[in-house]
Structure 1
Amino acid sequence: MSHYIVVGAGQAGQSIVTTLRGQGFDGQITLIGDERAIPYQRPPLSKAYLLGEMELDRLYLRPEAYYADENITLRTSTQVTDIDAAMKTITVTKDGMSETLTYDALALTTGSAPRRLPAKIGGDLDGVYTMRSLADADAIAPEFVAGASVLIVGGGYIGLEAAAVAAKKGLKVTLVEMSERILQRVASKETSDYFRALHEGHGVRILEGIGLNRLTGAGRVSSAELSDGSTLDVDFVIVGVGIIPGTQLAEAAGVVVDNGIKTDLFARTSDPSIYAAGDCASYPENGTQVRLESVGNAIDQGAIAAKNMLGLNVEYAPKPWFWSDQYDVKLQIAGLSAGHDQVVVRDGGAMRSHWYYKDGALIAIDAMNDPRGYMVAKRLIESGKSADPSFVADPASDLKALLKA
């Protein structure tokens, strides 16, 4: 009987095992995760879960009984310490005991890890947190006490979501971003301006173009020295300065790494028996290896990996989409805005969207409380169609007409 092993029990790993069974695979499946929890959603951790609006069992991707019902061996709290690609074996360790497992096909969905501040600038002090895992969220939750002062380092979506939760809970929030504006790496100036105003309207102090020099404290963080020479008193710190793809196992096994674990459009790595999907994996597009950090990519790429583990030879056709919840604003993103040369603002008051163009073609959208704009733009982008910028800019125009053109 064939044995397929998936290393990494996140969204991509779950997508693989679910798809394998859905495609009729009746062999042995083992899903291995290094966390204690069964596979769960990560996006709500920095939003609804931290706010106390979502219970733990609602985070789970499948009920625990699902794995037994589908004859999937789920191993939690288990470390994979070695891959022998020549022998097609992996070594797993749990509670100090090691075991060797043999595979016919192996999928690496090892995700990513948050970048941490160096110890030399105080990154190892108590009260300094990252926000990536369930354990992170559970550790940080007791710090969210009204009136406490929190410093958030990094003005990306994770930092902004954490700032929104802290502000809603009545904390004094300061966010520092060393780039000239928040969201600079992922969004237009128009989107940055929108979210800066949103946060400042909720009392968040945003400092752009200012970095962190060091954190200080006697065992626990108590103050922060910024690059402009100022000092802040802080009760705790949240660090959101990006992630590092989990490539260590792949590299040690001799699998090629290029902006993550390098795959082709069939989710295959340089080893024909090893596949990869999710945050840890990159795929080819326009001569470079692209890596998407999103739930949508993890689900879709995972499904492709599973189908190709079964020999179906299905190519991955990425359809990038993302979202973020901050206060009462739902941001929905479709497409990739990198390289845009025009941004068209559609301002409908409570609803607003920013449409990105490159050489006259629509390539992406940021939609704030504008689900219709998002839906229309997403369908246009995925079908390779565009939209006249002047039509888009008029809030009175009927966007659905674009789908009939």
Structure 2
Amino acid sequence: MTHIAVIGAGQAGASLVAKLRNSGFDGDITLIGAEEALPYQRPPLSKAYLLGEMELERLFLRPESFYAEQNITLRLGTRVDAIDTASKEIHIGNEVIAYDQLALTTGSHPRRLPASIGGDLDGVFVVRDLKDVDAMAPHVREGARALIVGGGYIGLEAAAVCAKRGVSVTLVEMADRILQRVAAPETSEYFRQLHGDHGVAIREGIGLNHLEGEAGKVTRAVLSDGSTLDVDFVVVGVGIAPAAELAEAAGIEIENGIRTDEFGRTSDPSVWAAGDCASFPYKGQRIRLESVPNAIDQAEVVAQNMLGAEKTYVATPWFWSDQYDVKLQIAGLNSGYDTVVTRQGEGRQVSFWYYQGDQLVAVDAMNDPRAYMVAKRLIEAGKTADKATVSNPEADLKPLLKA
């Protein structure tokens, strides 16, 4: 009987094994995860879960009974030491697990501060998994003082949760503006104002020099301009890196993550990859998408291809971020844009439409689900949108879909 093993029990891994069974695979399946918890959703970790608005059980993607009913062997709290692609074996300590096909859904690692600048002090946190958030939660209390390092979406979401809890928050971003790597100046300005309205002090063009502590716990931050801050805890949101170490050590080709073809197959024909760890071809380039929708969609296509479907994975990039009472929805990829058109709604409702020439390539929509859905459908269909119509808040967007 064929045995499919999956390393990485996050969103992609859980989606992949479920799709295998749903597609009629009746062989053996083993899902191996480093964390003790059942596969769970990560986005609520730093928001509803940290705020105490969501119980642990509600994080789980499926109940434990699902895996038993589907005859999926769960190996949680298990770290894989090595993969031997020649003999098709997974090594866990002295144990060897043979596989016929292997899927790598190992996700990503948060970038951490080096110990040389105080990154190993107590009270310094990243926001990636359940253990991280459980450790940070007791510190997020009214009157505490927090430094957020990094002005991307991870840092901004952490700042929003802390501010809602009554924490005094300072956020530093080394680049000239927050969200510089991922969004237009218009989106940066929107979120700068939003956080300012909630009392968050944002300092752009300023990085962290080092952290200082007493008795092993962080107490002070020294910034790149020489200024200092007394802090009770620090949240580091400076990006993530693909968890590709196992694949690289096994001799599998790496290119900004685990390199796959359009089907999700790696340089080893018996090994596949999906989710944050995988880089794949997209419109003449090679990308990695760090998002829940990509983890699900790519994993499901890979599952079908492991069973012989030969189905090309066509990514439809979309993302979201929740901060205070604002829901940001993003469709498309804005790389290469040269124009941004603003569509202003009421209050905090606004959308920014990215164009490359006359072609719509992406949208950032804040509290404007209608604009988001129209733009998303246009982008996925390869269509564009008349700029004059978009910029006119009185104009109906729906006719654009029929153009």
Matches within 5 A, 1:213-362: 213-218=209-214, 219-350=216-347, 351-362=349-360
Matched, 1:173 2:177: no
The TM-score with structure 1 as length reference comes to 0.98
| 1:244 to partner: Cα distance | 1.1
Pair 1:150 & 2:171 matched = no
CA contact (8 A) 2:5 2:29 kept: yes
Any idea what the Cα deviations from partners look like across 1:153-207, whole Å, max 9, x if unmatched? Answer: 0000010000000000001000000000000000000000000000000000000
Find the partner of 2:99 among 103, 118, 121. Answer: 103
Deviates most, 343-352 or 328-337: 343-352
Q: What is the rounded CA distance, in whole Å, between the counterparts of 1:289 and 1:216 in structure 2?
A: 41
The CA deviation string for residues 250-301 of structure 1, in whole angstroms up to 9 with x for no partner, is 0111000001000001000000000000000000234432111111111111
Q: Does 1:117 align with 2:113?
A: yes
Partner of 1:129: 125
2:379 maps to which residue? Answer: 381
Task: Tell me how far apart the structure 1 counterparts of residues 49 and 32 of structure 2 sit (CA, whole Å).
Answer: 24
Q: Please list every run of at least 4 consecutive aligned residues from structure 1 whose deviation after the TM superposition is greater than 3 angstroms.
A: none
List alignment gaps of at least 5 residues for structure 1: none
1:191-210 equivalences under 5 Å are: 191-210=187-206
Q: What is the SS of the residue equivalent to 1:165?
A: helix
Report matched runs for 1:11-50 at 5 Å: 11-50=11-50
CA separation in 1, counterparts of 2:289 and 2:88?
28
| CA distance, structure 2, for counterparts of residue 361 and residue 207 of structure 1 | 34
User: Partner amino acid for 2:135?
Assistant: A
Once residues 257 and 236 of structure 1 are traced to their aligned partners in structure 2, the CA distance between those partners, rounded to angstroms, is 36
Rounded Cα–Cα distance in structure 2 between residues aligned with 1:381 and 1:284 = 18
In the TM superposition, residue 402 of structure 1 has moved relative to its aligned partner by 1.0
Counterpart mapping for 1:69-84 below 5 A? 69-84=69-84
Give the SS at the match of 1:354.
Answer: strand
How far apart, in 2, do the equivalents of 1:39 and 1:77 lie?
11
Which amino acid is 1:132 matched to?
R
**Is the Cα contact below 8 Å between 2:282 and 2:315 reproduced in 1?**
no
Match of 1:6 in 2: 6
**Structure 2 gap ranges (5+):** none
Q: Which amino acid aligns with 2:370?
A: R
In 1, Cα distance between equivalents of 2:249 and 2:142: 46
In 1: Cα distance, 2:205 partner to 2:145 partner: 21
Of 363, 372, 377, which residue of structure 1 is paired with 2:361? 363
CA positional deviation for 1:401: 1.3
- Rounded Cα–Cα distance in structure 2 between residues aligned with 1:400 and 1:74: 46
Q: 2:208 is matched with which residue: 187, 207, 212?
A: 212
- Partner Cα separation in structure 1 for residue 58 and residue 249 of structure 2: 36
Task: Provide the C-alpha distance between the structure 2 equivalents of 1:359 and 1:256, rounded to a whole number of angstroms.
Answer: 36
Contact 2:31 2:72 in 1 (8 A): yes
C-alpha distance in 2 between matches for 1:185 and 1:116: 19
2:206 aligned counterpart, secondary structure: coil
Please report the TM-score for the alignment, with normalisation by the length of structure 2: 0.99
Q: Deviation at 1:53?
A: 1.0
Aligned residues: 401
Residue type of the alignment partner of 1:65: S
Q: Which amino acid aligns with 1:312?
A: A
Looking at structure 2, the residues matched to 295 and 15 of structure 1 have their Cα atoms a distance apart, in angstroms, of: 11
Residue identity in the other structure for 2:388: S
> Are 2:142 and 1:160 equivalent residues in the alignment?
no
1:86 match: 86
Structure 1 CA distance for aligned equivalents of residues 296 and 130 of structure 2: 19
